[in-house]
């Protein structure tokens, strides 16, 4: 009777080891997929920065070193848009007319 119980426990151990091996393989597969998705996200972020490939290594090194990276303007404009109104096309040249009237 002790042999039957021992055999039964040994069979359960083998089943548990088989399940464990399956779960470890599944974990490895999921970790690989997770890493791939993280890498894709990083690539998307870096592409969104529009940093030339030649400058990318230097920017990453400056970030790694703790220095603030120099901003890379994408439109050529530095800072926020000004709130000054553009002159109306009809108003252009009116200043000359006013000078003539005062003379």
Give pLDDT, residue 71.
Answer: 59
> What proportion of the chain, given as a percentage, has pLDDT over 70?
64
Note whether 50 and 72 are within 8 A (CB): yes
Note whether 73 and 52 are within 8 A (CB): no
Q: How confident is the model at residue 87 (pLDDT cuts 50, 70, 90)?
A: low
- Chain segment 11-21, per-residue pLDDT in tens: 999 999 999 99
Give pLDDT, residue 85.
Answer: 53
The mean per-residue pLDDT over the stretch 24-30 comes to: 98
Find where tokens 């090194």 sit: 61
Q: Is the pLDDT of residue 83 over 90?
A: no
Give pLDDT, residue 90.
Answer: 56
Tell me the Cα Rg of the chain. Answer: 35
CA 53 to chain centre: 16
> Which whole-number Å values give the CA distances from 7 to 15, 17, 19, 31, in the listed order?
12, 15, 19, 36
The mean per-residue pLDDT over the stretch 30-38 comes to: 98
Handedness of CA 48, 54, 55, 58 (dihedral sign): positive
What are the structural domain ranges in the chain?
1-65
């Amino acid at each position: 009777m002790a042999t039957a119980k021992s055999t039964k426990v040994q069979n359960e151990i083998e089943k548990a080891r088989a399940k464990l091996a399956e779960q470890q393989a599944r974990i490895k597969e999921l970790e690989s997929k997770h890493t791939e998705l993280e890498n894709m996200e990083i690539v998307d972020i870096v592409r969104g920065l529009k940093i030339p490939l030649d400058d990318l290594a230097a920017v990453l090194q400056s970030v790694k070193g703790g220095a603030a990276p120099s901003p890379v303007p994408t439109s050529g404009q530095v800072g926020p848009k000004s709130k000054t109104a553009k002159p109306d096309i009809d108003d252009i040249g009116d200043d000359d007319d006013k000078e003539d009237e005062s003379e």
